[in-house]
Chains A and B, each alone.
Chain A
């Protein structure tokens, strides 16, 4: 593995169920993550995914790739275009640094509106 290596993309259909299940599993009861009517009142066309779910999906993308021995050390993400129901997010990753067992991966999650998430993950791989 070397800097510049690309991880295979992961396509995640953004269903209403995923958004609501992620919000509840992360104990985030903000109405914009489960109530479409109240989300519209706040200027959003529909409900949208909460940041904790995005964080969880980014972590999963990395450990899915690096396997059962991999351990997350750092996850730093920034949100852009929201994940609304009916969209698809495609996660892609590029290795930016390899230091022994520690790997830094630059992650982008793109949906139909643009970049939903950009960030960096530091993961320890198979010791």
Chain B
């Protein structure tokens, strides 16, 4: 079971840029295909297939990846791109690795004496997922394994690079961050006035300078007449629940599911998304009156939220 989570830190955008880049170029097997390694494999697996023994032995096809392994002396064939991707994930706290998928196709048998070469590409990097093991990113690579220039097999491999459950990841830079902070708003020149209002405990709605239409959230132009002229009006703070959802999954470190997310219709007529507080998540109802208040989430962040039962 896994769920996709938003990228609060922009890490995924960095990771996704590695899709399509080489994971290994011109790799060579540390040993040619050989009978001792085949025999040790068959002993471990309890595999007595006659094709894997004797003078005309072939290697068990499922050994395909084994011929490409770095062993104790490590991989010397990985690309700079793959090393960078791993370092990014390590730096973000996703230091543990578990393999999840292996898809192999065997095109020709490998025999003792065959020298192995391989090339691999980073096929995909997933958005952040939360699994039973912990939170992390799936990385899928696809490898072509050759001998004497002939394609012997293909090998698609997926790993999860993750931070073990209960141990939250660090930020993208590797710096420590308290686990339970809500995402930071993105403040830019189009919405800075809104956040200045919040800081002063005023919920400001934009009003078109030409047609006087109210709009929320903040935008540079009027959706009704296209005008770029505007001023603001302060919301009275009264509103009703226009619609809502209850978030159960996925959990995000700063939030404690289940909780209600409301679409609040302000008395002025515009709607905004916010938390509904002061009432259990399962008692939120459409049409419920709510009243604005400001929630101090932490020392840097205040947010407008709506308290149920609002008319006072």
List the interface of chain A (C-beta within 8 A of B): 12, 18, 21-22, 24-30, 42-43, 50-53, 55-60, 63-64, 68, 70-79
Contact = CB atoms under 8 A, between A and B. Distances in A.
B46 A60 contact: yes
A77 B101 contact: yes
A103 B98 CA distance: 30
Contact of B49 (A12, A28, A58, A63): A63
B72 A29 contact: yes
12 contacts: A21-B43, A25-B66, A26-B44, A27-B70, A52-B62, A52-B102, A53-B44, A68-B51, A72-B60, A73-B106, A77-B101, A77-B102
Nearest to B31: A27
A78 B160 CA distance: 12
B105 A26 contact: no
A103 to B, nearest CB: 15
A75 B71 contact: no
Given A25-B41, A51-B99, A60-B46, A75 B104 contact: yes
Nearest to B72: A29
Given A43-B167, A56-B41, A30 B97 contact: yes
A25 B37 contact: yes
B70 to A, nearest CB: 8
Interface of B: 37, 40-41, 43-51, 60-63, 65-66, 69-72, 96-106, 109, 133-134, 164-167
A75 B50 CA distance: 20
A2 B103 CA distance: 24
B41 A43 contact: no
Contacts of B133: 43
Contacts of A63: 47, 49
Contact of B62 (A21, A27, A59, A79): A59
A42 B98 CA distance: 11
Contacts of B101: 76-79
Nearest to B62: A59
B102 A55 contact: yes
Given A26-B65, A42-B164, A76 B104 contact: yes
A67 to B, nearest CB: 9
A26 B102 contact: no
A66 B167 CA distance: 46
A55 B104 contact: yes
B61 A27 contact: no
A28 B44 CA distance: 13
Nearest to A29: B72
A17 B67 CA distance: 22
A68 B53 CA distance: 11
Q: Which 7 A-B pairs have the closest CB atoms?
A: A43-B164, A27-B69, A59-B62, A76-B103, A21-B44, A51-B99, A25-B44
